[in-house]
A = this chain, B = another copy of it.
Amino acid sequence: MCATYRALCSSGYADLTMQDIADESSKSKAALHYHYDSKHDLLCSFLDYLYERFVERTAAVEGEDAHERLLGLVEAVLSGHDDREEFETAILEIRAQAPYEGGFRDRLTRFEDHLVTELTAVIETGVEAGTFDEDVDPGDTAEFVVTVLTGASTQRVTVGRSVECSQRMLADYVETNLLARPEELSA
């Protein structure tokens, strides 16, 4: 899986071969083919592996209240390693293949559903605790936040735009639209 990660970073998705992955690992190409019928199969397993790590990463997000945990989830999705751009480029290539490859689409949907579910739960908790306004719709808001995160990631890859502005605007959005208003205004 680590070899697949490195090979995707250096070759991208379209040009990736089983040989590239073997070159990054201690296994031969024949050994890889013993476990995986094709590049498609191997990448499906790789997406499953990423999904497990993604679930761990979102579960590890801490915070004093729902507001902090929400911003922590945003940070966990947007922040990354030094080679983040190369990797995100490969992931966007895989995303663009989703309409042709059901195995990719199912797995990408699982990522998105997990993030929507996590965000919905945090927002619900915040509404119940009075941190967030009672008029906030947790499900719609969670989907909106995921849309912003998806857009920020796509823009980083396609036009090289930094995610800073999106992250700041999203924090403003949470403050203005989600946080319960002081009593003098809501009265």
Contact = CB atoms under 8 A, between A and B. Distances in A.
Interface of A: 12-14, 85-86, 89, 92-93, 95-100, 105, 108-109, 112, 140-141, 143-144, 146-152, 154-155, 157-161, 165-166, 168-169, 173, 176-177, 185
Contacts of A159: 98, 105, 108-109, 112
A43 to B, nearest CB: 14
B155 A147 contact: yes
Given A14-B14, A89-B99, A154 B157 contact: no
Nearest to A176: B177
A176 B185 CA distance: 14
B100 A96 contact: no
Contacts of A92: 92, 95-96
Copies per complex? 2
Given A100-B12, A173-B177, A143 B157 contact: no
> Secondary structure at chain A's binding surface: helix, strand, loop or mixed?
helix
A172 to B, nearest CB: 8
A82 to B, nearest CB: 16
A99 B143 contact: no
Given A152-B151, A169-B144, A157 B100 contact: no
Contacts of A185: 185
A161 B176 CA distance: 26
Contacts of A147: 148, 151-152, 155, 165-166, 169
Contact of A151 (B97, B100, B149, B160): B149
A157 B112 CA distance: 13
Given A14-B14, A105-B160, A144-B169, 20 more contacts: A12-B99, A86-B99, A92-B95, A93-B97, A95-B96, A96-B158, A98-B159, A99-B157, A99-B158, A99-B160, A109-B159, A112-B155, A140-B168, A140-B169, A141-B169, A143-B161, A143-B165, A143-B166, A150-B150, A151-B154
